[in-house]
Amino acid sequence: MAEQMISDEAASKSGDQPDTPRMNMIEAINSALDVMLSRDPNVILMGEDIGYFGGVFRCTAGLQEKHGLTRVFDTPISECGIIGAAVGMGAYGLRPVPEIQFADYIYPGIDQLISEAARLRYRSVGEFISPLTVRSPFGGGIFGGQTHSQSPESLFTHVAGLKTVIPSTPYDAKGLLIASIEDNDPVIFFEPKRIYNGPFDGFYDKPVQPWSKHDGSEVPEDYYRVELGKANIVRAGTEFTVLAYGTMVHVAKAVVEAHGVDAEVIDLRTLVPLDIETIEASVKKTGRCLIVHEATRTSGFGAELAALVQERCFYHLEAPVERVTGFDTPYPHSLEWAYFPGPVRIGDAIAKLLKD
Amino acid sequence: MADDNKSASHEVRSNLPPLELHVPQPKFRPGDPVDYSHIHVPKAGKQARPDIAADAKETNELVYDLVRVLDDDGKAVGPWNPKLSTDILINMLEKMVLVRAFDERLFRAQRQGKTSFYMKCRGEEATSVAAAFALASDDMVFPSYRQQGVLITRGYPLIEMVNQIFSNKGDKLKGRQLPIMYCSREHSFFTISGNLATQYPQAVGWAMASAIKGDTRIAATWCGEGSTAEGDFHSACTFAAVYNAPVILNVVNNQWAISSFSGFAGAERTTFAARAVGYGIAGLRVDGNDPLAVYAATSWAAERARTNKGPTLIEHFTYRTEGHSTSDDPSAYRSTDESKDWPLGDPVNRLKQHLISLGVWDDERHAALDKKMAETVKDVAKAAEKNGVLGHGLHQPFATMFEDVFEELPWHLREQSEQADRERAIKWPNR
User: With contacts defined as CB-CB under 8 Å, which chain A residues touch B204?
Assistant: 81, 84-85, 88
Q: Which helix (H) or strand (E) holds A259?
A: helix A247-259
Cβ atoms of residues B290 and B344 within 8 Å? yes
Q: For B232, which of A80, A86, A184 is closest by C-beta distance?
A: A80
Cα B123 from Cα B129, distance rounded (Å): 12
Cβ atoms of residues B108 and B165 within 8 Å? no
Q: Please state, rounded to an integer, the average pLDDT across all residues of chain A.
A: 95
List, for residues A159-171, the tens digit of each pLDDT value: 999 999 999 999 9
- CA dihedral defined by B134, B138, B142, B146, rounded to 10 degrees? 50
- Of A316, A309, A322, A302, nearest in space to A278 by CA: A309
Alpha helices in B255-362 (DSSP H): 275-279, 291-306, 337-340, 347-357
Cβ atoms of residues B8 and B23 within 8 Å? no
Cα B232 from Cα B209, distance rounded (Å): 18
pLDDT at residue B1 greater than cutoff 90: no
List beta partners, residue A165.
Answer: A189, A270
A328-to-A150, A344, B157 alpha-carbon distances in Å? 12, 18, 54
At residue B6, the pLDDT reads: 62
- How many Å lie between the alpha carbon of B313 and the closest alpha carbon of chain A? 17
Q: For B172, which of A125, A129, A163 is closest by C-beta distance?
A: A125
User: With contacts defined as CB-CB under 8 Å, which chain B residues touch A272?
Assistant: 410
List, for residues B26-39, the tens digit of each pLDDT value: 999 999 999 999 99
User: With contacts defined as CB-CB under 8 Å, which chain A residues touch B238?
Assistant: 76, 78, 81
Confidence tier at A12 by pLDDT (50, 70, 90): very low
pLDDT at residue A2 greater than cutoff 50: no
Cα A289 from Cα B431, distance rounded (Å): 44
List beta partners, residue B248.
Answer: B220, B312
Cα A352 from Cα A174, distance rounded (Å): 37
Kindly report the number of other CB atoms within 10 A of residue B88's CB atom: 12
- CB–CB contact A112 B232 (8 Å): yes
pTM reported for the whole predicted model: 0.95
Query: Residues A148-155: what's their mean pLDDT?
Result: 97
- CB–CB contact B191 A127 (8 Å): yes
At residue A10, the pLDDT reads: 44
Q: Which residue of A has its CA nearest to B218?
A: A92
Confidence tier at B10 by pLDDT (50, 70, 90): confident
Asked if B214 reaches chain A (Cβ–Cβ under 8 Å), the answer is no
- How many Å lie between the alpha carbon of A37 and the closest alpha carbon of chain B? 14
pLDDT at residue A14 greater than cutoff 70: no
Angle between helix B291-306 and B86-111 (nearest 10): 110
Q: Which residue of A has its CA nearest to B241?
A: A76
- How many Å lie between the alpha carbon of B191 and the closest alpha carbon of chain A? 6
In this complex, how many residue pairs, one in chain A and one in chain B, have their CB atoms less than 8 Å apart?
A: 142
- How many Å lie between the alpha carbon of A214 and the closest alpha carbon of chain B? 33
- Of B231, B391, B250, nearest in space to B312 by CA: B250
- How many Å lie between the alpha carbon of A200 and the closest alpha carbon of chain B? 32
Cα B405 from Cα A118, distance rounded (Å): 8
Query: Residues B187-205: what's their mean pLDDT?
Result: 98
pLDDT at residue A151 greater than cutoff 70: yes
Alpha helices in A260-293 (DSSP H): 276-286
Cα B179 from Cα B192, distance rounded (Å): 10
- CA dihedral defined by A319, A320, A322, A323, rounded to 10 degrees? 170
Q: Which residue of B has its CA nearest to A41?
A: B213
Q: Which helix (H) or strand (E) holds B141?
A: strand B140-142
B302-to-B82, B139, B294, B323, B330 alpha-carbon distances in Å? 14, 9, 12, 31, 35
List, for residues A191-229, the tens digit of each pLDDT value: 999 999 999 999 988 888 999 999 999 999 999 999 999
Q: Please state, rounded to an integer, the average pLDDT across all residues of chain B.
A: 96
Report CA torsion sign: B135, B141, B147, B153.
positive
- CB–CB contact A229 B203 (8 Å): no
Spell out a b/e string for B360-391, using b for 16 or more CB atoms within 10 Å of the CB, else e: ebeeeebeebeeebbeebeebbeebeebbbbe
pLDDT at residue A4 greater than cutoff 50: no
At residue A17, the pLDDT reads: 52
pLDDT at residue A8 greater than cutoff 60: no
Sequence-distant (≥ 6) Cβ neighbours of residue B87 within 8 angstroms: none
Strands (E), chain A: 43-47, 72-74, 95-99, 133-138, 163-165, 187-192, 232-235, 240-244, 263-267, 270-272, 289-296, 322-326
- CB–CB contact B212 A94 (8 Å): yes
- How many Å lie between the alpha carbon of B428 and the closest alpha carbon of chain A? 25
Confidence tier at A356 by pLDDT (50, 70, 90): confident
At residue A19, the pLDDT reads: 79
List, for residues B134-162, the tens digit of each pLDDT value: 999 999 999 999 999 999 999 999 999 99
- CB–CB contact A84 B204 (8 Å): yes
- CB–CB contact A85 B212 (8 Å): no
- Of B311, B277, B316, B320, nearest in space to B295 by CA: B316
What share of chain A in percent tops pLDDT 70?
Answer: 95
Q: Which helix (H) or strand (E) holds B222?
A: strand B219-224
Which residues of A does the annotation mark as catalytic? 79, 148
Query: Residues B396-421: what's their mean pLDDT?
Result: 97
Mutate to test the interface with A, among B141, B178, B196, B235 (most CBs of A within 10 A): B235
pLDDT at residue B307 greater than cutoff 70: yes
pLDDT at residue A37 greater than cutoff 70: yes
Query: Residues B317-326: what's their mean pLDDT?
Result: 97
Confidence tier at A3 by pLDDT (50, 70, 90): very low
- How many Å lie between the alpha carbon of A342 and the closest alpha carbon of chain B? 32
Q: Which helix (H) or strand (E) holds B253?
A: strand B247-253
Cα A244 from Cα A257, distance rounded (Å): 15
At residue A208, the pLDDT reads: 85
Q: For A87, which of B205, B219, B412 is closest by C-beta distance?
A: B205
User: With contacts defined as CB-CB under 8 Å, which chain B residues touch A305?
Assistant: none
Asked if B417 reaches chain A (Cβ–Cβ under 8 Å), the answer is no
User: With contacts defined as CB-CB under 8 Å, which chain B residues touch A78?
Assistant: 235, 238-239
- CB–CB contact B410 A272 (8 Å): yes
Cβ atoms of residues B181 and A127 within 8 Å? no
- CB–CB contact B198 A84 (8 Å): yes
- CB–CB contact A70 B183 (8 Å): no
Q: Which residue of B has its CA nearest to A85?
A: B205
List, for residues B57-112, the tens digit of each pLDDT value: 999 999 999 999 999 999 999 999 999 999 999 999 999 999 999 999 999 999 99
Cβ atoms of residues A289 and A241 within 8 Å? yes
Mutate to test the interface with A, among B176, B406, B407 (most CBs of A within 10 A): B406
User: With contacts defined as CB-CB under 8 Å, which chain B residues touch A86?
Assistant: 205
Any idea what DSSP says for residue A112?
I
- CB–CB contact A123 B183 (8 Å): yes
pLDDT at residue B9 greater than cutoff 90: no
Asked if B229 reaches chain A (Cβ–Cβ under 8 Å), the answer is no
List, for residues A38-84, the tens digit of each pLDDT value: 999 999 999 999 999 999 999 999 999 999 999 999 999 999 999 99
Q: For A123, which of B142, B191, B238 is closest by C-beta distance?
A: B191
- CA dihedral defined by A294, A295, A296, A300, rounded to 10 degrees? -120
At residue A7, the pLDDT reads: 43
List, for residues A218-273, the tens digit of each pLDDT value: 999 999 999 999 999 999 999 999 999 999 999 999 999 999 999 999 999 999 99
Angle between helix A301-313 and A276-286 (nearest 10): 60
- Of B38, B68, B37, B18, nearest in space to B354 by CA: B68
Count H helices and E strands in chain B, helices first.
13, 7
Alpha helices in A260-342 (DSSP H): 276-286, 301-313, 336-339
At residue B4, the pLDDT reads: 60
